[in-house]
Structure 1
């Protein structure tokens, strides 16, 4: 009997403890269950319910069902009828998460983040793992879309322990992509040690120069952080980097024309390439042998590759001629990795061994878009030259600008000086202003003091022009009462001539330019200019491209394995896109009082 009483007492105590343990969850509430009913049935039950809490919960289930069925407008309409105050914390988290998901589907990350600021999110860790995964996922996506990469990393680090298999690998690869894209100054220690581990790994990779140094940096980091998730299993891009052969590049075939219309361009590229080679030798670095081939004499690319391979070449740099680059792009495979010094047609599929590098004007158009966006501008007007080049530049600017939320209000093709004033007046709707003043005079009678004014809905002018054209355009803007309109330009208007009068005519214009022409203190640039004085002028961009081609040649595999990594070159900050084209980001300067004033770099 006594034993039975003891057993009964123990049972009662266990029941009491269980009740105490369940009390927090009762205050937390339950998540909406997957109902065995249609959306219509759930809404009917909600309308007939006498309990506000039950009605809110039923509508929340219906809204989520509409979301899962991809009926996003209906999901939003139903969710708007749900009062968060009528829900318990678990359901509030669920509703806030769903609101954020719907906002992200409308490409409204700020609205998503606002939804995720609800106090109930503080209890997310008490909810089932499936809900935590859902909330962390949309939160990280919203932060990333809002430009808060490091905060997005923090959310994904919280998400990581809840995942397994392919989902875990994908999350880890995304974390790496986010931290690798951050500039070095943002890779600081964080409160979360796992986040700090990620940032220190990215910083170690950025500080390493060559492929071998990056491999060594990964090994050293893993020894220092043996229990970090990235040490246990490397993100896929770093695993690929480790797999890359460390066999040094010992011989390069440099394929450039020595005769014909591109001979002068090729000479500047070759001299820049060889200057970088000489500097590497003088600094004690291992350097490849360079064998120069004349592409203007080539009758068969297949024969050239056979000749280069027989001579021991491991890589080809060149050709420069666009027809030859298009021929290479049309091949299924190339015998050797090749860094072409020009681009095939946009959209032309290329073999995996072909990389393309050039001073593409489209890069600069996208750079203008990026800078203006960073400066908080939204509405643009544009002036570009007539012809195919101007069409390409305008198309590149328009695509990048509008895809990132900007508006292009109008565009003009630059005409001869006699028509320039009229074009600018049309672009800025100056004649409409004059017409309003005339109409007012007729209405009130007599003279009305009215100064013509430009359209006020434009934030800036995107300009692609020669120095001579820009010299006429900026004073005309001033004359046309539009001197206050910011002008953002490509490098074409910068002659690097030092002509103070020319620069004065362009005062206030901001433009992107190569580091080569904006940093006269670079030691290699100084050596090259001493040997070839023309490299200090606009031809310097070609010398810079030659220098950068030498730096890119041994690091193409690295850029391919780490698509978010960059090489700080003299023609720009270089990265590789999915089509294996080298893209440039450029520093900025402004004409001020007849001088060129360097501006802070655009945030990345």
Structure 2
């Protein structure tokens, strides 16, 4: 009986070893295969394997099995017991690939890319297609996570011919998503015909403005590249663009309050919206019909949608009130596509809900972008005390630190009398004065020493009112920090036209809407002729209303093509994955009370 058991065990071991090997071995050696055995059985057989190579293959199979069972910790532990130098090239490719996959589970793309630089990877093309696909897939994922978008696209294009069945479409869509996310000015020919075909398709669509122009660009490209994979199977976002082009927008519901605390805000939005509508009419376009609904008399949001549906409304613009936007964002579905004119607290809402507003957080991120483009790395911040200041600072901090920047300190502005001390604390001036006094005490005579500020701070992020900014900038000068660049949000600019108000803020740079910086814009001048307040701070709301009209027919386009931007009057508009419209803004600077436009930040 015992002899029979031993014979059976020997048979099992032989079967396991056979299962661990690829078909006929070559000079590259064997690839491990995951056999019909448990991790424990594989490890046990590895301890008694006759050769180091067989033991290593069994451990590689065990490590891979742990990885496939979603146990990366144990997989890494087993893999660490496999000496790479004992493996032949094929197994080294396998081990390097698994190492990269494990690194990606830890969100370490650079470690994954390092693993995939192993010399054995030069032999990848000689290995079975399954291994080539697996290695190329993790390579593409690592490139993408590391920000090397075109390298990721090139990897996916290279492995596309190896794919069959259900694996083809996801890779096809991933190639499109990658290349479409690259700014147009960074797209250049590579010498790879298939990759260059993808690039020329993206360029053709990005250079076209309207849906109709993009549709024509797609048709032209397909006729010029009939055999290209993207021509044979159009990427899903482009199929959606074709559908959008065939469904013109004929009726919009404008949902705003006519009474209550937000009535004046709503009026400015409405006038800007309608001004853009009339301008489209004058240009010979066939704009949609606009129907007005008053949220100040709204009793039920469901009743509104029922009436709007019955009236043939295809798009709702509004509401403005935050509680209503919050209510809509909590729903799983909406009966009509809706562009809310405010933001909810939650990131994700129903697929039919888009959100647009003059978010201070956008401006905080804009400051981060500008300072980063100017080559700065270390920031301090001054924001108002309270919830708004915390929110704006957090938006700045998250974007700044996500791109490698450092926050040296933050002061929350409240009472003007405390400003001098706050700025002194920020720049460590008191430490400088203390050193001077200590030196004076040591030498026993009076020391002529001017306080010196800390040089750690390269610029100040400022998000305060014009009145606060008028106090802060002179105090910085007084506290030996007048040479520190100040990057501010638009809140420092009241657009009052009062030169004296800004004389003390010379040098302060701030982002602002194109509406208030481009005084030659025809629509702005047309609106301001009827409503002079559009020249002041309310102009931002007129601009937002006009941009809401411009966004109306292009929401689907922004969703389908994530890198698309629309040059609006409130900023350059794009869409986040959570369907929020985000603004990038131009810049200006105060000089002797005047506002001077600065060159735009590179996108």
**Cross-structure match for 2:564:** 565
Question: Which residues of 2 match residues 394-433 of structure 1 at below 5 A?
Answer: 394-433=393-432
Q: Write out per-residue CA displacement over residues 70-124 of structure 1, whole angstroms, 9 at most, x where no aligned residue.
A: 6767877887898877765545545554554455445444454455445554433
**Cross-structure match for 1:232:** 232
* Aligned counterparts of 1:309 and 1:48: Cα–Cα separation in 2: 73
After TM superposition, the structure 1 stretch with the greater mean CA deviation from structure 2, 528-537 or 354-363, is 528-537
**Cross-structure match for 2:583:** 584
Superposition deviation, residue 267 in structure 1: 2.3
Secondary structure, counterpart of 1:411 in structure 2:
strand
Secondary structure, counterpart of 2:292 in structure 1:
strand
* Aligned counterparts of 1:182 and 1:306: Cα–Cα separation in 2: 41
After TM superposition, the structure 1 stretch with the greater mean CA deviation from structure 2, 493-502 or 226-235, is 493-502
Superposition deviation, residue 561 in structure 1: 3.6
**Cross-structure match for 1:256:** 256
1:545/1:85 CA distance change after superposition, 3 Å? same
Contact 1:576/1:583 (8 A) holds in 2: yes
Superposition deviation, residue 303 in structure 1: 4.5
* Aligned counterparts of 1:595 and 1:395: Cα–Cα separation in 2: 28
Contact 2:379/2:457 (8 A) holds in 1: yes
Q: Write out per-residue CA displacement over residues 563-599 of structure 1, whole angstroms, 9 at most, x where no aligned residue.
A: 4433232212223334433222323344456542323
* Aligned counterparts of 1:97 and 1:478: Cα–Cα separation in 2: 57
Asked if 1:313 is matched to 2:300, the reply is no
Superposition deviation, residue 364 in structure 1: 1.8
Question: Which residues of 2 match residues 496-507 of structure 1 at below 5 A?
Answer: 496-497=495-496, 502-507=501-506
Question: Which residues of 2 match residues 102-121 of structure 1 at below 5 A?
Answer: 102-121=102-121
**Cross-structure match for 2:465:** 466
Superposition deviation, residue 222 in structure 1: 2.2
Superposition deviation, residue 225 in structure 1: 1.8
1:50/1:209 CA distance change after superposition, 3 Å? closer
* Aligned counterparts of 1:54 and 1:486: Cα–Cα separation in 2: 65
1:30/1:330 CA distance change after superposition, 3 Å? closer
Superposition deviation, residue 553 in structure 1: 1.4
**Cross-structure match for 2:17:** none
Normalised by the length of structure 1, the TM-score is 0.82
What is the RMSD computed on CA atoms of the aligned residues? 3.8
Consecutive unaligned residues in structure 2, runs of 5 or more: 1-24
Q: Write out per-residue CA displacement over residues 487-512 of structure 1, whole angstroms, 9 at most, x where no aligned residue.
A: 33222112344555554533443433
Superposition deviation, residue 358 in structure 1: 1.0
Contact 1:104/1:142 (8 A) holds in 2: yes
* Aligned counterparts of 1:316 and 1:288: Cα–Cα separation in 2: 12
Contact 1:140/1:151 (8 A) holds in 2: yes
Contact 1:176/1:235 (8 A) holds in 2: yes
Superposition deviation, residue 187 in structure 1: 2.8
Question: Which residues of 2 match residues 346-361 of structure 1 at below 5 A?
Answer: 346-347=345-346, 350-361=349-360
1:589/1:164 CA distance change after superposition, 3 Å? farther
Secondary structure, counterpart of 1:461 in structure 2:
strand
Secondary structure, counterpart of 2:410 in structure 1:
strand
Contact 2:42/2:59 (8 A) holds in 1: no
Superposition deviation, residue 310 in structure 1: 4.9
Superposition deviation, residue 330 in structure 1: 5.0
After TM superposition, the structure 1 stretch with the greater mean CA deviation from structure 2, 496-505 or 263-272, is 496-505
Secondary structure, counterpart of 2:596 in structure 1:
strand
**Cross-structure match for 2:598:** 598
Superposition deviation, residue 26 in structure 1: 5.5
**Cross-structure match for 1:149:** 149
After TM superposition, the structure 1 stretch with the greater mean CA deviation from structure 2, 374-383 or 246-255, is 374-383
Normalised by the length of structure 2, the TM-score is 0.82
Secondary structure, counterpart of 1:189 in structure 2:
coil
**Cross-structure match for 2:22:** none
